[in-house]
Amino acid sequence: MINWVLLDDNSKLLKAIEESFTKDVVIFKHSTTCSISLMAKRRLEEDWDDLENVIPYYLDLKSFRSISDEVAERFSVHHESPQILLIRQGECIYDASHFDITIAELKETLVFHA
């Protein structure tokens, strides 16, 4: 089960970046009208239990597109939907989109960058 932190304003984005200096942060950019995005979200939620030390932020692209644009610009990552970004020490160290969003890849990145 994921206890998502809703990313719904720029102050929360700044908080996520600040938190990334003490814990890894994931930002999941979700399109509420896309079946691929829904499937990616479900896969994350099913396998999240092993990632207790990662703070999960959820961004609804339809409602908060300007924040999504800010995320893309701040981390120099081309906007995709769905998309996941792993933030550590204020930098995006991993991103994936569509069917490439998996817990296995996320875990591998966490181990590789440990």
Measure the CA–CA gap between 61 and 79, rounded to whole angstroms. 10
Average pLDDT over residues 97-105: 92
pLDDT tens digits for range 7-24 = 999 999 999 999 999 999
Domain boundaries 5-112, CATH class: alpha beta
Distance CA 40, CA 34 (A): 10
Identify the three-state secondary structure at position 9.
Answer: coil
Please state the φ and ψ torsions of residue 6, each to the nearest 5 degrees: -70, 125
Do 50 and 66 touch, CB atoms closer than 8 A? no
Q: At 96, is the pLDDT very low, low, confident or very high (cuts 50, 70, 90)?
A: very high
Q: What per-residue confidence (pLDDT) applies to 1?
A: 77
pTM of the model: 0.95
pLDDT digits (tens, 9 = 90+) for 49-76: 878 889 999 999 999 999 999 999 999 9
Rounded to 5°, the CA angle 91-45-58 comes to 45
Residue extents of the structural domains in the chain: 5-112
Mean pLDDT estimate for the chain = 93
